[in-house]
Amino acid sequence: MNDEINVLHVTKWYPHKADPQNGVFVKKHIASTSNDPVVLGFLSYAGKPEIEGQTTIYGAKQMSNATKLAIFTAAIAQHKPKIVHFHCFAPDLLPLLLYAKSKRLKTLHTEHGSAFLKDRLHLLKGWRKKAPRWYFSKVDRVLPISPLLNEGILALAPKSNTTVIPNIVSPVSTAVSQERLTKKFCVVADVVFETKQQDKIVEVFRQIPRAKAELHFYGGGPDHSKLEDLCRNDANIFVHGRQTNEEVLELLPNFDALLLYSAYETFGITVFEARQAGLWAIHSSGLGGQPWYDNGCIEVSSERELFAAIDQVLTSAAAKKASFPDLSPQAIGDLLKELYREIVLKS
């Protein structure tokens, strides 16, 4: 229940046993709206359903659209929601949206996907472009997580009714507590050279004297083994595996700075998590979360500037711990619940 408004959440991304980091930002949005939300997850992996409370996550990679629709209609009949809140676009949401509309239910959709950034829309062709354009124009309210993503969605589907609702930044209770002779840097991101550019970070970091700094990579992904091979002979560069969000938050205070040198990000949640832990956050320009960044964030737009920012941290005192009250679970939950009330009152 959400202030007496019954909401059914349907998502394509959500943490599960095989990948506890998958869609953790979606789970935080949903959890901010209710103590026991009703959630259906149709995720792109093969596995048995995972059930906790009123949340059921399906490994739906081999599941037909007809089966998904049957599960969805049964959930509508059981829970009798006034609102269906979808999360993360995929084409198999279209029949679910049509059914919800046929039952005159109000619909919202939260979007996180970088495919809908304005500079990447040209990559969408044919039905991959037509399907989300139609979908976004039919949902009662689309909720992009950043102004940058909002711009892209409106460029794709100008008739969309949008409201920006940013990601939630979980509070961090610990922070950097001591100065270190050897500065420690970390990268927390999926290992995808094309977008996260770990290979370029390594090239730049190798220009730093080994005795002065360490670099630690956290995350899994298609280029993880390539990153391991790339750094095999670097005594001050360490490649770790994928971590849960809780583990990342515990690890961050062990470092002096975060590096997020991505080609693009719809938000860039790790920048905020690092700043709350008292790290410097060195980030590439033009990221979705930039409107909320503070003065502990260092923007770079080239490898030369990345080197200069790393060198700056080597000679700087520890950054001051930041807080982002407007991005707290309470603040974002209140925004979402107010939207629920608003959209129901319009019916």
Q: 15-39, pLDDT tens digit by residue? A: 998 888 889 999 999 999 999 999 9
Task: Kindly report the CATH class assigned to 7-168+328-345.
Answer: alpha beta
List, in sequence order, the alpha helices (H) in the chain: 24-31, 65-79, 94-102, 127-138, 147-156, 193-196, 198-205, 224-230, 245-251, 269-276, 303-314, 329-345
Instruction: Output the pLDDT for position 174.
Output: 67
Angle CA 63–69–73, to nearest 5: 140
Predicted local distance difference test score (pLDDT) of residue 123: 97
End-to-end CA, the chain: 19
Domain residues of the chain, as ranges?
7-168+328-345, 183-324
**What are the Cα distances from residue 276, in Å, to 27, 324, 328?**
20, 8, 12
- pLDDT, residue 2, reads 40
> How high is the pLDDT of residue 10?
98
Residues 44-102 pLDDT 10s? 999 899 999 999 999 999 999 999 999 999 999 999 999 999 999 999 999 999 999 99
Q: What pLDDT was estimated at residue 7?
A: 98
- Same topology for domains 7-168+328-345 and 183-324, yes or no? yes
Q: Find the range with the poorest average confidence among 85-94, 115-124, 247-256.
A: 247-256
Which pLDDT band, with edges at 50, 70 and 90, does 196 fall under?
Answer: very high
Are residues 218 and 230 in contact, defined by beta-carbon separation less than 8 angstroms? no
Torsion of CA 211, 216, 217, 223, to 10 degrees: 30
pLDDT of 210-237, one tens digit each?
999 999 999 999 999 999 999 999 999 9
Q: So what's the pLDDT on residue 18?
A: 85
Average pLDDT, the chain: 94
pLDDT the model gives residue 178:
59
Starting from the edge strand earliest in sequence, which strands make up the sheet with 297-300, in order? Answer: 237-239, 213-218, 183-188, 257-260, 280-284, 297-300
Q: What is the mean pLDDT of residues 317-342?
A: 95
Cα(45)–Cα(330) distance, rounded to whole angstroms?
A: 32
From the options 3.40.50.1820, 3.40.50.2000, 3.40.50.970, 3.40.50.300, give the CATH code of 183-324.
3.40.50.2000
**Residue 128 banded pLDDT, cuts 50, 70, 90:** very high
